Amino acid sequence: MTRTDVRLDTSKRFGTKAATLFGTACLLVLAGCSGEESGTASSGVVTSATAQETPAPSAAPATTAPAPAAAAVEAPAAQGTVDVAELMKPGALPDVVMGDPNAPVTIVEYASMTCGHCATFHIQTLPTIKANYIDTGKAKLIMREFPFDPRALAAFMLARCAPEDKRTAMVDVLFRQQDQWARAQNASEALFNISKLAGFTQESFAACLNDKDLQTKIVETQERGEKEFGVAATPTLFVNGNRYSGAMGAPELSAVIESML
């Protein structure tokens, strides 16, 4: 049986060269790689987001009901703007759209699966935004990969390999159970236990994490976000081209969306 023992150090960041070497030398799972091996070739392409790239001390409690409507607040000022046409050009991976593709407001989120603030956004903020704007056809959400470390890269790969009808749910579970795999001693075992919920076998799990083409495309997505759109921290949201970096609660994001309707 294929061995899937992954011990990846979340304290290491990587750029294209480091990620490529990591994939070539280790193939993510077969060699039982460690973060020290993946981090030696580069100091990483993202250094300004250190405070936002690690998991939160504890996961927020799960909730099955939509969050209550957000109180009205003043919309925060954007930290920059990008050309929407450029932002929406096809990249290395196809966008996964939540909501009506023709919705008037487009939210593009760059996230890392090991980012605690990203988990907070998906657990605490997104339910309100989904109920009030995405499900009502006013906005759509696109999440793009911006992994800070090999564990985040592996989690994104598994989400991409999941059946299409389970992909969004798997992302949700990965964020909700972030503490159980992002800092686990045996990341492979923890990620596999979550992946089984989406129908993965040990063979399909290993095959996904050894998909070098998928790995390269995820890293290219990260690089494009940084070089073309100025992403330097997660989460970074683009709302109709306006950039907002860092944590944003439901009231603030609701105000931004309302200002564009």
Q: Which of 2-6, 15-19, 229-233 has the highest mean pLDDT?
A: 229-233
Average pLDDT over residues 175-181: 95
* CA distance linking residue 12 with residue 6, whole number of Å: 15
Q: What are phi and psi of 151, to 5 degrees?
A: -65, -40
Give the pTM.
Answer: 0.76
How far is residue 174's CA from residue 250's CA, in Å, rounded to a whole number? 21
Task: Give me the pLDDT at residue 3, please.
Answer: 42
Cβ partners under 8 Å of residue 161, min gap 6: 200, 204, 208, 211, 214
CA–CA dist 17, 210 (Å, integer)? 17
Domains, the chain: 47-258 (3.40.30.10)
pLDDT tens digits, 30-66: 333 333 333 322 333 333 333 344 344 344 444 444 5
Do β-strands 242-245 and 80-81 pair in parallel, antiparallel, or remain unpaired? antiparallel
